[in-house]
Structure 1
């Protein structure tokens, strides 16, 4: 995936007159031109994962948005209050925290408000430390850096050659964050929609106050009241060949994929908020050129997980093959690329993404 905003991110015209919404197309063209001009000043031969497109922001607001106090919403602005780069529902940004840790978070504010970005983060006590730092360190006035918005989960709101007449949204836990901005856009283009929002308990569910105005179009499913929701409950009535958009934990995503495998008339769009399991993996080896150490990557293990056993300081973030922060250069061997995030130039330079990509035999990497 390129860091530049893509044509595929632009939704179709709501009533099918155009393949892409003309106003949003013009806005994205303008952003791409600015990014191209900025790129002229970048040094040659930069590697993936470099933070050349990060910019300085300041925390303008923060607030607790779940009754259990474990989800905080943080709003960023530019220090001078200027307009920020455009984004569309489903987009995320890289956030470089004060410690230097980089994490990806979905934007959950209003795309029309170009003066601010908002993210929301659930505290994960047993996590890798990013959520704890957001909760503790990002106070109003804190300065930090964020990257340009990228969209691996774009909302296509019907239109050109699409059979979609309705949208079914399904959010699991903190997976509400990319879904939330979609609601306002669907309302604006008058696309019928309904949503199921699942959580462990009502107290753990974020943004309930913001969802309340949508009335019975939003169904809350609390596990402690009704048990785990099955695919039939989550999908509801799919009459009208709708599209399904979902974000949540991998087991929920896989259950929905299984339920829709024989429904080719239904579009299925999803985003996980944690790494997917390895599929069709085979054991191989990675040799670290800097130390000569050889690591065995298990059939059900990612190359990144193996690298982290020897190099716990190695850079990584999303673990899903789109942020590119874990990219390393292959010095010898043939990688099996399982991501489209790297550009042709990066592939030609020998980079691969150990979070998802694999190999046969042995790879020697520049670590």
Structure 2
């Protein structure tokens, strides 16, 4: 854990606050790569993940931006109501589930609302290293678009901005075929409906692979098979527990006294990632790559299940 202090607070847009965090001891902070996030231990006891928005070369500070989510679970409300200049916090080391792939020389970014946060760090990295990029930025209105002034300075040939309030409708992702050159990967972050629309677009245009950072779970898939119970065996102790249809592996282990690191409990932060020794996981997370899923060596035990009757975990 790292001890930091809030050294600056700004209003980046309607309902979006920006925070600058510096090490409490004044030292340089650990390095991070574009797309990384940190766990923030909030004063109300909650742990939340926030993307780092600043240039990854800036080791003197971390910058995050947080949207005040209506009817949320208390994290964003706590940030907006209690974090002020001088507030001391503990944060986790930077982690990255949404990295820029080194094999890509050109990028097409799609950001919806507060989804601009990991994308902005990527844009700043691309500019520093002379990489080619374009951005489609979608927001409810100008008032709700964070970092709009900076992004607008890149020009219309680099940045296309769509405001639902001005257009009178949501942006049609299906129309992106004229915007995204063949072979250019899509990096997307935003609300779940936008993310699903981008996934659907990529499935119709496989020459444009998609890489995602989910802030919220996708809508339930009606085609997903119903959950079934299974047995989980812990390799190190040999103990076995039954995981009922309506409980997660994490919940079952916690009920038997196991203290498993976890945070989001929705398969989006990778905190509870656990090694799989034997069995076939039924992956229901949002962070593992296709290759990692196919390998089946790890799983997120907060949401993922088993495709067979017994799963052996490296616990």
Answer yes or no: is the 8 Å Cα contact 1:170–1:234 preserved in 2.
no
Residues 109-120 of structure 1 mapped to structure 2, 5 A cutoff: 109-120=54-65
Which residue of 30, 54, 79 maps to 2:24?
A: 79
Say whether 1:185 aligns with 2:125: yes
Structure 2: any 5+ residue segments left out of the alignment? 232-241, 289-297
Residues 117-196 of structure 1 mapped to structure 2, 5 A cutoff: 117-156=62-101, 158=103, 164=105, 166-196=106-136
Give the distance between the partners of 1:112 and 1:104, measured in 2 at CA.
21
Distance 1:187 1:321, change over 3 A: closer
Answer yes or no: is the 8 Å Cα contact 1:283–1:297 preserved in 2.
yes
Give the distance between the partners of 1:95 and 1:117, measured in 2 at CA.
12
Which residue of 237, 255, 258 maps to 2:179?
A: 237
2:181 match: secondary structure: coil
2:153 match: secondary structure: helix
Structure with higher RCO (Cα < 8 A, 6+ apart)? 1
2:245 maps to which residue?
297
Q: Deviation at 1:237?
A: 2.5
TM-score normalised to structure 1 length = 0.67
Give the distance between the partners of 2:66 and 2:249, measured in 1 at CA.
24
Q: Deviation at 1:318?
A: 5.8
Structure 1: any 5+ residue segments left out of the alignment? 1-53, 288-293, 342-350
Aligned length: 287
1:22 maps to which residue?
none
Distance 1:124 1:304, change over 3 A: farther
1:211 maps to which residue?
151
Say whether 1:94 aligns with 2:42: no
Say whether 1:223 aligns with 2:167: no
Give the distance between the partners of 1:356 and 1:321, measured in 2 at CA.
10
Q: Deviation at 1:256?
A: 1.5
Distance 1:352 1:212, change over 3 A: closer
